[in-house]
Structure 1
Amino acid sequence: MDYLNGKLYLICAFSLAGTSVISARFVMGKLGTFTITAVSLFFALVFLVSLCGKQLVRYIPSMSFRTFLFLSLQALCGIFLFRMFLLSGLYYTSAGEAGILTGATPAITAFLAMVVLREPVSRRKLAGILCTVGGILIIQGILTPGNGLSLEHLGGNILVLCAAACESAFNTLSRISAVKAAADLKESSSPIAQTTIVTAIALILCLIPAMLEHPLQELSGIGLMEWAALLWYGVFVTALAFICWYSGIKRCGAFTAAAFSGMMPFTALLLSTVVLGESADYQQWLGGFLVIAGMILIGTEGRDAASPLSRNRKSRGKEQVKE
């Protein structure tokens, strides 16, 4: 049941994250990259502090320096660098294509799980990784003869792929942190408190570059739709998505997280056609299908190695039996 709940948390997390490309489209060209990030993080932080103020006061004193360091790295990779690359890439490519290109995240995360976390890889998982890579190549148009893709468009897609790599690094760091926290019985992890701290650190990182974009002048010129997009970006894409993420990653392994991160490009592709009215040709849909197929192959092979949470509970149960 714990493992199933973890999967549901991950589906919610990446589905909400997939709406980031759409909400960002409403403010692109009207606000600077770091202004968008800083304002949305401010909304997220206000929401989170009102949600878990007392819990945060209890969690911070018990937090070790190692945990703080890992959360700082997660804020750098998962929010600051991810949004910097994604928002910069959206200036040169479409929201639908950018959303699908974030589908590189499962393959990169699976690769890091093998290299960094030493998680075993089976033929099915390897096939899932190859499906994801093939989908990215088809979306990019590399396999299409006579592709007339401009260098500017290619540069935008490369920036989006850099965002996917940052997301994968965040996923791996979160998994390492979850395992270490579960191994240390003295330190309990709180998804809401973790999300609040990561959001606060990322906001601090964004403040200086945001001030260079003259944010007050830009913010005074936007309308209700843009403010609503920023609020959505903060509360749903950041706060709720990260709470679901931290709740899921402590119950599931890195390969499961890699698989369900494919929900991000799938959600972005659907919403870009429905909400923004962007057209997707057969090549994009074929690439998207391969990305989803890779997600299914990686995620349906069977349960990962026992989650740190379940292992922790089992070890406690054995200790109680011995006593």
Structure 2
Amino acid sequence: MQVNDNRSGWGKAYLTGAFVLAGTSVITGRLLGQHLGTFTIQAGSLGIMLAVLLPLYGGRIIRAVSGMSRDQWAGILLQAFFGMFAFRCFLLYGLPLTSAGEAGVLLGTTPAITALLARLVLKEPLYQGAVRGILCTVAGLALIQGGGGSLSWSHAAGNLLVLGAAASEALFNLLAKNRQSLDAIRNKELHPMVQTFLVSAAAFLFSLLPAIAERPVQELAACGFREWMALVWYGLVVTAVSYALFYRGVKRCDPYVTAAFSGVAPLTSMLVAVWLLQEQLGWKQWLGGGFIMLGISLIGSRAQGKLSVIAKV
């Protein structure tokens, strides 16, 4: 029992670190989006990460690739598409239309979406805490979306795009957890950094062709030191370190714990946006964010005790 407690404790620590770093993606994306195209940001940051990781883990990567099955490759491609490519497309297209702080709050819907998908896709039991958390999330969204009478159509579209990013992240969480469980059963688990490399390489290929249409060479040549440091941060920290910690954590925790801890990312985004970008959020946004954070806590309450089951497998 103690071993399982330690395993879960380390899993929560890994997830906390992963989502704190992931939360900085909103600020980094806002900065880079002022100078570079969406696909150039993806291809550039991932290219930097791949160039650094390949010499360090080349041997492990070659050995892992040689023994991978077809369904493992399918899992890698799906994680790359939803967890990196689609998530960043939605987020980077949505950020210019809404505030970074509000985007951070909206990403807090990820746990509620994850909980719903865990029930629908993985047939996980839906507990009272999860139901209440989902309802709190819906209430928070209603407050944020109605946060001002002057809300424009473009602002609403930006919020919807950010919600698309949250849905993509939720799908990624479930895909990664399901893939980890299957690989553990078959004793074919990938090293976290190898898995991060392969998922990133697939996402890099997804973004490479669209990036060419954005004239990336000219855009990158015009970047200053700050923009290059942001690309390095996006590639090495937000992607490499964050995803490696996530893969370590997700195999030690169930989907509801993972969903709850994913709320650390939007909280980080919101606080950093207010602190660094000096953005101002209205009382409805703060209250809506409070409802979403309460929802995150309720969704994660499964890990704190046994609650009655609303729906069973």
Q: Give your verdict on TM over 0.5.
A: yes
Residue in structure 2 matched with residue 88 of structure 1 by the alignment: 93
Letter in 2 for 1:52: Y
Which shifted more, 164-173 or 51-60?
51-60
Residue in structure 1 matched with residue 126 of structure 2 by the alignment: 121
Residue in structure 2 matched with residue 221 of structure 1 by the alignment: 222
Secondary structure of the residue aligned to 2:32 is: coil
Secondary structure of the residue aligned to 2:303 is: coil
Secondary structure of the residue aligned to 1:26 is: helix
Q: Distance in 1 between matches of 2:123 and 2:305?
A: 13
Residue in structure 1 matched with residue 104 of structure 2 by the alignment: 99
Which shifted more, 78-87 or 128-137?
128-137
Residue in structure 1 matched with residue 29 of structure 2 by the alignment: 24
Residue in structure 2 matched with residue 43 of structure 1 by the alignment: 48
Residue in structure 2 matched with residue 153 of structure 1 by the alignment: 155
Structure 1 residues 188, 28: closer, same or farther in 2, change over 3 A? closer
Q: Is the 8 A contact 2:30 2:96 kept in 1?
A: no
Structure 1 runs of 4+ aligned residues shifted over 4 Å read none
Q: Is the 8 A contact 2:180 2:189 kept in 1?
A: no
Q: Distance in 2 between matches of 1:237 and 1:51?
A: 18
How many aligned residue pairs are there?
301
Superposed, which structure 2 residues align to 1:201-212 within 5 Å?
Answer: 201-212=202-213
Q: State the superposition RMSD in angstroms.
A: 1.5
Q: Is the 8 A contact 1:256 1:304 kept in 2?
A: no
Q: Distance in 2 between matches of 1:133 and 1:245?
A: 26
Deviation of 1:100 (Å):
0.9
Q: Is the 8 A contact 1:103 1:136 kept in 2?
A: no
Residue in structure 2 matched with residue 309 of structure 1 by the alignment: none
Pair 1:112-2:132 in alignment = no
Q: Is the 8 A contact 1:132 1:290 kept in 2?
A: yes
Pair 1:239-2:244 in alignment = no
Residue in structure 1 matched with residue 285 of structure 2 by the alignment: 284
Q: Is the 8 A contact 1:255 1:304 kept in 2?
A: no
Secondary structure of the residue aligned to 2:33 is: coil
Letter in 2 for 1:89: G
Structure 2: any 5+ residue segments left out of the alignment? Answer: 1-5, 307-313
Q: Is the 8 A contact 2:43 2:207 kept in 1?
A: yes
Residue in structure 2 matched with residue 248 of structure 1 by the alignment: 249
Superposed, which structure 2 residues align to 1:295-306 within 5 Å?
Answer: 295-302=296-303
Deviation of 1:148 (Å):
2.1
Q: Distance in 1 between matches of 2:304 and 2:253?
A: 8
Secondary structure of the residue aligned to 2:11 is: helix
Q: Distance in 2 between matches of 1:189 and 1:36?
A: 27
1:140 aligned to which of 129, 145, 148: 145
Q: Is the 8 A contact 1:253 1:304 kept in 2?
A: no
Deviation of 1:8 (Å):
1.0
Structure 1: any 5+ residue segments left out of the alignment? Answer: 306-323
Residue in structure 1 matched with residue 79 of structure 2 by the alignment: 74
Q: Distance in 2 between matches of 1:119 and 1:304?
A: 16
Which shifted more, 46-55 or 106-115?
46-55
Residue in structure 2 matched with residue 308 of structure 1 by the alignment: none
Letter in 2 for 1:245: F
The Cα offsets for residues 165-215 of structure 1, whole Å up to 9 and x where unpaired, read as 111111111111011111112x13311110000000100111100000001
Q: Distance in 1 between matches of 2:77 and 2:58?
A: 20
